[in-house]
């Protein structure tokens, strides 16, 4: 007999093996041999022949859901082979037809509409995909994983409010669903409900459920814990590192190129960009004065930091280049500074960084945080630096800015900033490509 204590019961997480879906209705069973023959072509990769075979089946048996589904699948395969969006749209349409036939088996409806939604998402047709998923959820209201798919779809569209509602519903039906928990926690965290997000992210990760082992959840759980002063943040960073999401406990960027030299603080020589650094230091007063003129004349160019990195205080930025593109309007206000930079593609061409002024006012604290990528290094040229009260920590080393001097760090490592002086602090930030990136990588990496 199997009791609660017996060894067979020791793996409660192991789900029962999935039943094979039933894809044939009563009629389709009578033409199974023909369907199997067409399917065999498809499985063998004879895609054009499979399309023709299924088309002929659909012509002869227009009411056959399984034939229609085979047609959709072979069109889908053909779209993949030919990289044809038009063919994919045809397949997406055929997947819908399957579900609209008179007597399709429930499993087939589920399979065909799920695939339809996936392919719609692939084409960026997010609204269409959501409509398909909404329909699935309506037909199969008890199926939690469909609801989770629907929630993810809303997140992909940036509709966090609808996503939150869906995951909330899932948790009402299945309070232990780890997938819904991590996502619900993730949404709370991005709504700045820091303390509230923690149990959801933590329990979701602890569940080990499929789809929960994602770097972003470790990242945001750790961040939330740090903000409430809970040191177990580093246990989660360690686990995230062990599971391959972070290069190290300190270096937690998620868009990385493997194998780049990883060090928190850099010297000018380390970077090889000594010419740029000399230019910045020799011309620091010009760079400063242009910033000051802009601060006086049109404060509007300095926009408040908007990534929710501040615990408190005022911090504004004035951007000259971002993602390797010059902001012409900005450069017209600080022409000498921009002219100085034009000769340095390692900075102006850094598609994974920015060039900007940064002004921080007294009483500001920037939470410990980590930039998105290990592909850049960040230079800080001191312009107006109060005598005391301003400092920056990167990993376990804390430094202070000096006027006319460049500090260089890799902002994919955890860093934190304090401004406790009595007047503002102004620096010039220049991101540069990590020196070990090849020209080809610099040209082809996606912008951030
Ligand atoms: C950062 O790059 O995160 C900050 O150090 C910028 C700043 O203005 O101090
Ligand atoms: Mn930063």
pLDDT in tens, 26-47: 999 999 999 999 999 999 999 9
Check if 383 has its Cβ closer than 6 Å to any atom of ligand 1. no
- The answer to whether residues 58 and 157 belong to one domain is yes
* Whether residue 183 sits in one domain with residue 104: yes
**CA 414 to ligand 2 centroid distance, Å:** 8
Q: How far apart are CA 186 and CA 191, in angstroms?
A: 9
> Does residue 247 lie in a domain region?
no
Nearest protein CA to atom 6 of ligand 1, as residue = 358
Q: Where does the pLDDT of residue 17 fall: very low under 50, low under 70, confident under 90, or very high at 90 and above? A: low
From 306, 380, 402, the mutation candidate for ligand 1 (largest count of ligand atoms within 8 A of CB) is: 380
Ligand 1 atom showing the smallest separation from residue 369 Cα: 3
Question: Residues of the chain with pLDDT > 90: what percent?
Answer: 94
Ligand 1 site, residue 411, Cβ cutoff 6 A: yes
Same domain, 228 and 327: no
Inter-CA distances, 51 with 39, 249, 256, 258, Å: 10, 51, 41, 42
Is there an atom of ligand 1 within 6 Å of 358 CB? yes
Expressed in angstroms and rounded, the spacing between residue 370 Cα and the centre of ligand 2 is: 6
Q: Is the same domain home to 288 and 183?
A: no
| Same domain (yes/no): 331, 199 | no
Cβ pair 204, 181 in contact under 8 A? yes
- Cα(371) to ligand 2 centroid in Å equals 6
User: Is the predicted pLDDT of residue 16 greater than 60, yes or no?
Assistant: no
From ligand 2's centre to the CA of 234, what distance in Å? 19
- What's the 409 CA to ligand 2 centre distance in angstroms? 10
Q: Is the pLDDT of residue 315 over 70?
A: yes
In a domain, 55, yes or no: yes
Domain endpoint, select from 195, 210, 242: 242
For the CA of 371, the closest atom of ligand 1 is 3
- Mean pLDDT calculated for residue range 410-439: 98
Pocket lining: 427 vs ligand 1, CB cutoff 6 Å: yes
User: Across residues 169-193, what is the average pLDDT?
Assistant: 98
Model pLDDT for residues 197-255, shown as the tens digit of each residue = 999 999 999 999 999 999 999 999 999 999 999 999 999 999 999 999 999 999 999 99
Residues 213 and 178 in one domain: yes
Does 228 fall in a domain?
yes
Q: What is the dihedral of CA 58, 61, 65, 69, to 10 degrees?
A: -20
Atom of ligand 1 nearest to the CA of 378: 2
| Number of domains, the chain | 2
Q: Which of 180-189, 254-263, 302-311 is least confident? A: 302-311
Same domain (yes/no): 30, 132: yes
Q: How far is the CA of 385 from the centre of ligand 1 (A)?
A: 14
State the DSSP string of 221-283.
HHHHHHHTT-TTHHHHHHHHHHTTSSSSSSB--SB--TT----SEE-HHHHS-HHHHHHHHHT
Q: Let me know if residue 189 belongs to a domain.
A: yes
Q: How far is the CA of 379 from the centre of ligand 1 (A)?
A: 10
Q: Is the CB of 205 under 6 A from ligand 1?
A: no
**Ligand 1, atom nearest to 309 Cα:** 3
Could you give the CA distance from residue 159 to residue 66 in angstroms, rounded to a whole number?
A: 35
4 or 97, which is more confident: 97
Supply the pLDDT for residue 15. 52
**Domain co-membership, 401 together with 289:** yes
Q: Measured in angstroms, how far is the CA atom of residue 412 from the centroid of ligand 2?
A: 8
| Boundary (domain end) residue, out of 209, 242, 275 | 242
pLDDT above 50 for 7: no
Task: Convert 275-295 to b/e letters by CB count within 10 Å (16 or more is b).
Answer: ebbebbeeebeebbebbeebb
| C-beta 412 within 6 A of ligand 1 | no
Domain boundary among the residues 183, 209, 242 is at 242
Ligand 1 center–CA 323 separation, angstroms = 17
Domain that holds residue 159: 26-242
| Residue at 343 is within a domain | yes
pLDDT in tens, 374-421: 999 999 999 999 999 999 999 999 999 999 999 999 999 999 999 999
User: Domain of 348: which CATH number?
Assistant: 2.60.120.330
185: CA distance to ligand 1 center in Å?
Answer: 27
Q: In this structure, what are the phi and psi dihedrals at residue 219, rounded to the nearest 5 degrees?
A: -60, -50
Based on the domain organization, do 294 and 234 belong to the same domain?
Answer: no
Q: Are 341 and 385 in a shared domain?
A: yes
Asked whether residue 282 falls in the same domain as residue 321, the answer is: yes
385 lines ligand 1 (CB under 6 A): no
Q: How confident is the model at residue 19, as a pLDDT?
A: 83
Taking the CA of 426 as reference, the closest ligand is 1
**233 CB-near residues (< 8 Å, 6+ apart):** 221, 222, 223, 225, 226
Closest ligand relative to 370 C-alpha = 2
- Mean pLDDT (the chain, rounded): 95
Backbone angles phi and psi of 426, in degrees to 5 = -125, 130
Q: Do 75 and 167 share a domain, yes or no?
A: yes
Ligand 1 atom closest to the Cα of residue 425 is 8
Distance 419 CA to ligand 2 centre (A): 14
Domain containing residue 175: CATH number: 1.25.40.10
Q: How far apart are CA 250 and CA 37, in angstroms?
A: 56
Residue of the nearest CA to atom 5 in ligand 1?
A: 417
Rg (CA), the chain: 28
The residue assigned the tokens 């998105």 is 372
3-state DSSP call for residue 58?
A: helix
C-alpha distances out from residue 439 to 174, 324, 350, 377, 434, Å: 51, 14, 11, 16, 11
| Candidate of 378, 402, 409, 414 to mutate for ligand 1, largest count of ligand atoms within 8 Å of Cβ | 378
417 touches ligand 1 (CB under 6 Å): yes
In short, whether 430's Cβ falls inside 6 Å of ligand 1 is no
- At 18 the pLDDT is 72
Residue 195 lies in a domain: yes
The residue with greater pLDDT, 206 or 297, is 206
């Amino acid at each position: 007999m199997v009791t609660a204590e017996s060894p067979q019961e020791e793996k409660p997480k192991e789900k029962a093996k999935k039943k094979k879906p039933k894809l044939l209705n009563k009629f389709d069973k009578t033409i199974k041999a023909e369907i199997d023959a067409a399917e065999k072509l498809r499985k063998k990769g004879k895609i054009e022949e499979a399309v023709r075979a299924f088309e002929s089946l659909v012509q002869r048996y227009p009411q056959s859901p399984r034939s229609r589904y085979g047609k959709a699948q072979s069109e889908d395969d053909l779209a993949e082979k030919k990289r044809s969006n038009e063919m994919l749209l045809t397949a997406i349409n055929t997947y819908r037809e399957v579900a609209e036939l008179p007597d399709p088996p429930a499993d087939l409806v589920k399979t065909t509409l799920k695939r339809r939604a996936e392919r719609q998402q692939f084409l960026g047709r997010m609204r269409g995909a959501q409509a398909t998923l909404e329909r699935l959820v309506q037909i199969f209201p008890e199926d939690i994983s469909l609801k989770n798919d629907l929630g993810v779809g809303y997140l992909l569209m940036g509709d966090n409010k609808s996503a939150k509602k869906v995951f909330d519903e899932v948790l009402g039906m299945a309070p232990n669903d780890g997938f819904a928990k991590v996502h619900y926690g993730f949404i709370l965290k991005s709504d700045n409900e820091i303390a509230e997000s923690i149990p959801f992210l933590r329990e979701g990760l602890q569940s080990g459920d499929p789809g929960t082992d994602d770097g972003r959840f470790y990242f945001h759980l750790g961040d939330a814990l740090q903000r409430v002063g809970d040191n177990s943040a580093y246990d989660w960073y360690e686990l995230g590192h062990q599971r391959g999401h972070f290069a190290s406990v300190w270096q937690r960027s998620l868009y990385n190129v493997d194998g780049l030299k990883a060090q928190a603080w850099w010297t000018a020589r380390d970077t090889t960009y000594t010419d740029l650094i000399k230019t910045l230091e020799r011309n620091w007063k010009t760079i400063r004065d242009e910033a000051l003129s802009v601060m006086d004349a049109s404060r509007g160019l300095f926009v408040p930091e908007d990534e929710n990195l501040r615990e408190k205080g005022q911090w504004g930025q004035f951007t000259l280049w971002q993602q390797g593109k010059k902001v012409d309007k900005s450069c017209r206000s600080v022409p000498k500074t921009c002219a100085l930079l034009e000769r340095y593609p390692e900075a102006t061409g850094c598609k994974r960084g920015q060039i900007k002024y940064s002004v921080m006012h007294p009483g500001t604290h920037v939470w410990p945080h980590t930039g998105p990528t290990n592909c850049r290094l960040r230079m800080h040229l001191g312009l107006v630096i109060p005598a005391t009260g301003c400092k920056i920590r990167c990993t376990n080393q804390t430094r202070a800015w000096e006027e006319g001097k460049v500090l260089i760090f890799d902002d994919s490592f955890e860093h934190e900033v304090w401004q406790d002086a009595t007047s503002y602090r102004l620096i010039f930030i220049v991101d540069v490509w990590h020196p070990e990136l090849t020209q080809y990588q610099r040209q082809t990496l996606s912008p951030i």
